[in-house]
Amino acid sequence: MYASEWRHSAQEVDQRLWQRISLLEMFALALCFGLAGIFAWYRSQGKAFSYDFETYLLAGNGDLGVHYYAFWILPVFQILAALPSILSFFIWNALNILGVFAASRILGEEKRWALALLTYQMFYVLYYGNIVGILIVGLALLWWGLTHRRWHLAGLGLVLAVTKYQLGLSFGLILLLMADISWRDRLKVFVVPFLTLLVSLLIYPLWPIESMRIILANPPNSLGNISLWQWLGPFALLLWLPPLGLPLSAQQRLIALAATATMTLPYFQQTDLLALFVPPLGWLPLVGNLGFYLYAKYTWQGFAVLAIIPLFIYLRIIGPPIVSWLRQKTADNSN
């Protein structure tokens, strides 16, 4: 648990990716696709309002008032807006499902659990038509490209992930820095993102400035935010010190850093916990299903309790080396 079973060489990643689907994975996929179909029908009948997906369609139709994403995703939103409503919503959710499934294979463990598909966060994505599953497969593609030394595919994965700035930049940079490659190779990964940015600027001139203007004019609401920043402010940044300085395995450090990003970014939605649920964490992702109870009991404010998940991961990884260091100091002082 917590990276102890993680294998991340190119051969081992491919072996996980192409293994036969387990019964649990079949069940999870069937459940998610079934829910995607039900939610698509409900939405077509006006019985469900998929807020996130509606904002993507608005952006696809030219209304950028609440568009908080990189502008290079706009052609995708334009295609979705041009399709029949029920079809576009189902296709979008299918991409989210397959994205989380593929990421669970690439970044996950040998037991083929894909438990991220069986969490409240996944069902939330399917109901509201959120984008996070597609961002997560971007992170997985980034890692696949890094392990296979396919820098253009790693760069494409980074482009997908950075579509949502706070998630993609933080998790993407962690994967890049933790990969066993040279700095020269890391720079090669940025070729595709640079070209993507260049082309997007030709189509949408000065869009980064426009994106900043949109965020400042209509700040994203804090509903579902689980970051400790909202209580600790900049002091939350001190949480970066232990995973950066303690003697940890590379895999443990990577997961500890991901948990730290979850807690220290000023804004981190509970839905984005899916990015934390695809690495090897044993049965812990199922704790995300507390979301059902928290929302039913406390509505949006209850989601803040889910901060215990990254905090538990963080303490579970950094706790043992801290205890070991304290014992060593005590022993040295007694001598």
pLDDT value for 325:
85
Q: Which residues are 201's β-sheet partners?
A: none
- Six-digit token pair at 84? 């029949």
d(CA 247, CA 43): 50
What pLDDT, on a 0 to 100 scale, did the predictor assign at position 7? Answer: 61
pLDDT in 10s for each residue of the chain, 335 residues: 454 455 678 888 888 889 899 999 999 999 999 999 999 999 999 888 899 999 999 999 999 999 999 999 999 999 999 999 999 999 999 999 999 999 999 998 767 678 999 999 999 999 999 999 999 999 999 999 999 999 999 999 999 999 999 999 999 999 999 999 999 999 999 999 999 999 999 999 999 999 999 999 998 888 899 999 999 999 999 999 999 999 999 889 999 999 999 999 999 999 999 999 998 888 899 999 999 999 999 999 999 999 999 999 999 999 999 998 888 888 777 76
Q: Quick check: 292 and 120 in contact, CB under 8 A?
A: yes
Token pair in block for residue 254 = 């990577």
- Of the candidates 324, 327, 320, the one whose C-alpha atom is nearest the C-alpha of residue 3 is 320
pLDDT at residue 335 in the model: 67
What does the DSSP 8-state code read for residue 22?
P
**Residues 68, 81: Cα–Cα separation, whole Å:** 17
pTM above 0.85, yes or no: yes
The backbone torsions φ and ψ at residue 269, rounded to the nearest 5 degrees and listed phi first, read -75, 150
Rounded Cα gap, residues 164 and 70, in angstroms:
7
Residue 31 makes CB contacts below 8 A (sequence gap 6+) with: 117, 118
3-class secondary-structure state, position 201 = helix
Integer Rg of the chain from CA: 20
pLDDT at 1: 47
Q: How far is CA 130 from CA 53, 78, 82, 126, 135, in A?
A: 6, 16, 18, 7, 10
User: For residue 69, what are the contacts with CB-CB under 8 A and spacing of at least 6?
Assistant: 59, 131, 163, 164, 165, 211
pLDDT at 167: 95
